[in-house]
Structure 1
Amino acid sequence: MESKASTTIAKTSLQSPKPKERDLLHHLEAYLAKRDGVDKLLKISRYATKIILASSVLPETLTLTGRLKSFETSVGLSRKAFRLGKFVQDLNALRNSHFDSKQELVLSIIANGGEGLYYFVEQFIWLSKSGLIDSKHSRNLQKISAWAEFIGYMGSISLKFMDLKRIKEDEACLESTIEIAVARGNGCLEEEQRLRKLREKKLMKKLSIVQDIADGLMALADIRDGKGQLSAPLFISCAGLLSALISTHKNWVSC
């Protein structure tokens, strides 16, 4: 009796219909319910506007140019408001992490500590720009924020390269297992599914590294007060838009 029941359950599970894809509007609702979802849409709007302004496609005398500058400034201030309390997630990430080596521990402290300090200082920059704190402190706060952000991204990029190396090693092992199974005429459906998920994870990790590099370049431009070729407004605006698009894709897939 047990074997028949098991067979029936197995057949039922194999024949059960695949889960339907989530409705687009429901997916959008879930995405916009997240703080990061709204923040990244604002980031896309801001850097798309900055690209238009930096590319000089509009005449300086045009009324639209002034409106776009005002819009860009307003969106930038709104994004700072969205970061209130966001430093707590870095504290929790650091507290809940498990490390395989001292190197990972140090890099995680640099990555989460730098980003956490950046988000913490950004709260005071928002208060300064909003007029609650004397604006004379704004410049020093922005320097601290930029350095913390830059250092955090250096740690984050290093950690992600280590993760990417591990993913590639796992991928190579799975590929070898599949090759052996095929040569022996055995089925390897489960391994192929794991390999597909692993490759998707590898792609997302690569995109995340590109995003961190783009954000790191923007932080470096803030540190250098916009000086140097890598701090050109159009280049930095394109880096910001690239970062926003990658982050939007990651948040959309995960929600």
Structure 2
Amino acid sequence: MAAKATEKTNKRDFLNHLETYLSKRDGVDKLLKISRYATKIIIASSLIPETTGSLIPRLKSFESSVGVSRKAFRLGKFVQDINALRASRWESNHELVLLLIAYGGEGFYYFVEQFIWLTKSGLIDAKHSKLLQRISAWAELIGYVGSVSLKIRDLRKLKDEENCVASTIEISVSRGMAYEEEDEKMKKIKEKKTLKGLSIFQDLADGLMTIADIRDGKGMLSAPNVISSAGLFSAIVSTHKNWISC
């Protein structure tokens, strides 16, 4: 009975967890992202006929409004990349370059996004919008290149760690020794590998959308259904990561 009571105590209340999640900038932003790309999929799929009085114009208006709202959540967000870079540790010049590319690219992207939001909101002349969006897209793409490279490096390190723990477990089994601690380590490593892998696919999906922006929606991979699906996948992965981290 005591064990069950402890287990219930350790379980986090859903509403408290939700409150914590929604109090974070990224939490709300990713929910908006899900809403936006789910709407884009509905629009692109032609499930709803575009007739007089159709829901489509309202969905398009909603999608556009959510897109502008999300940009407001990026105000000052570039600071987190500056701090992440300051807190980073590297073992070689190669890693330092990757860190600069990843955090520098993403940070500059968020910095430029602030001005794009100001053009969308009317404070800055809209004639600058296209140039700012192109600069933003290239910075974002560069950031993803660095980010994916770093995450692949992290995956390799996790794989090495996994092999080391697996070897320890194998030795313990052969000697008839307990290996509960190593088994727990193995579970955590596998969880980290799964999250890291999902994060890489998320970056690739976001990178695909960025390339579509750079190419002005031209090309097979820039089809609305493809881009919308990539955006929704990225949003769901982000939401999952943010949920379990808060």
Q: Same fold (TM over 0.5)?
A: yes
Partner deviation per Cα, 1:91-111 (whole Å, 9 max, x = no partner): 001111010111111001000
2:186 aligned residue: 195
1:184 aligned residue: 175
Question: Which of 8, 23, 27 is the equivalent residue of 1:33?
Answer: 23
1:128 aligned residue: 119
Paired residues in the alignment total 242
Distance 2:6 2:187 in 1: 21
TM superposition shift of 1:56: 1.1
The reply on whether 1:60 has 2:50 as its aligned counterpart is yes
The reply on whether 1:230 has 2:221 as its aligned counterpart is yes
Identity rate of aligned residues, in percent? 68
1:219 aligned residue: 210
Residue 63 of structure 1: SS of its match in structure 2? Answer: coil
1:164 aligned residue: 155
Question: Which of 233, 236, 239 is the equivalent residue of 1:242?
Answer: 233
Q: For residues 55-134 of structure 1, what are the structure 2 equivalents within 5 Å? A: 55-61=45-51, 62-134=53-125
Distance 1:249 1:162 in 2: 22
Distance 2:112 2:121 in 1: 14
The reply on whether 1:22 has 2:12 as its aligned counterpart is yes
The residue type paired with residue 155 of structure 2 is L
2:34 aligned residue: 44
Distance 1:231 1:253 in 2: 32
TM superposition shift of 1:179: 0.7
Question: Which of 238, 242, 246 is the equivalent residue of 1:251?
Answer: 242
Calculate the TM-score normalised by the size of structure 1. Answer: 0.93
The residue type paired with residue 203 of structure 1 is T
Distance 1:57 1:245 in 2: 22
Residue 10 of structure 2: SS of its match in structure 1? Answer: coil
Distance 2:211 2:102 in 1: 16
Distance 1:125 1:242 in 2: 24
1:138 aligned residue: 129
What is the Cα-based RMSD across aligned positions, in Å?
1.4
Distance 2:216 2:229 in 1: 18
Larger Rg, first or second structure (1 or 2): 1
Distance 1:70 1:17 in 2: 49
TM superposition shift of 1:31: 0.4
